[in-house]
Amino acid sequence: MTPGKGDRLRLVSHFPGRLRVRAETFRAVPEAAAEVAARIAEEPGVLEVKTAPITGSLLVLYEPRRLQLPRLVQVLVRAGGLRGIEVDAHEDWSQQSPQGTRVRETVGRWNRAVQKLTDGKVDMRAAVPGSLATAGVAMFLAGRRRVPEWYDLIFWAFVTFSNLNQPGARAESDPHDDAAST
């Protein structure tokens, strides 16, 4: 690949005021990275630009109130003669399960295990707040005064119980539960 031709800018990390980008062009032609860094440093709001020739990355420190990220990225692409921005090109996000699916499935398995152990008398909607409340009462009676305080545990027990026992909460929390689908 000819540096710059067909190469895309990859956004490695961003936090307002700090942007790290990478391009193969910046690694293959360190002079190009230095030229881009010099051009970016002239942009109003840019505080500092550092190059890393070995990795082909640029670190741009900027004032987010004076310079918006889209403008900064646009200047980087143009100054580097790049084709555009690479956005997760190596991963097919459409094939991944929705966020939180594995967590919900794991908690669902724990819930079914608790129900099986208690012959269906207790589930996680009662076990979690019950455990928090028990710990809170025990800490109060023992006179233990450490973080979390006993009243924190009682509060968490109440909030957890309330959230898990809202109308419709069972159907949303465990799509595999037969009782929720009847």
- Convert the pLDDT of each residue in 101-130 to its tens digit: 777 888 889 889 989 999 988 888 888 888
Q: In CATH, what class is 8-88? A: alpha beta
Which comes out higher in pLDDT, residue 93 or 106? 106
Q: What is the mean pLDDT of the chain?
A: 82
Q: What average pLDDT does the segment 76-102 reach?
A: 76
Q: Spell out the domain ranges in the chain.
A: 8-88, 101-173
Q: Minimal CA–CA distance to 17: which of 54, 58, 46, 51?
A: 46
Name the residue type at position 66: R
pLDDT at 138 over 50: yes
What is the distance between the alpha carbons of residues 37 and 52, in angstroms, rounded to a whole number?
11
Which comes out higher in pLDDT, residue 89 or 171? 89
Between the alpha carbon of residue 122 and those of residues 118, 125, 126, 127, the distances in Å are 6, 8, 6, 7
Pairing of β 8-15 and β 84-86: parallel
What is the distance between the alpha carbons of residues 84 and 7, in angstroms, rounded to a whole number?
8
Of 38-52, 65-79, 143-157, the range with the lowest mean pLDDT is: 143-157
pLDDT at 171 over 60: no
Q: What is the pLDDT at residue 155?
A: 84
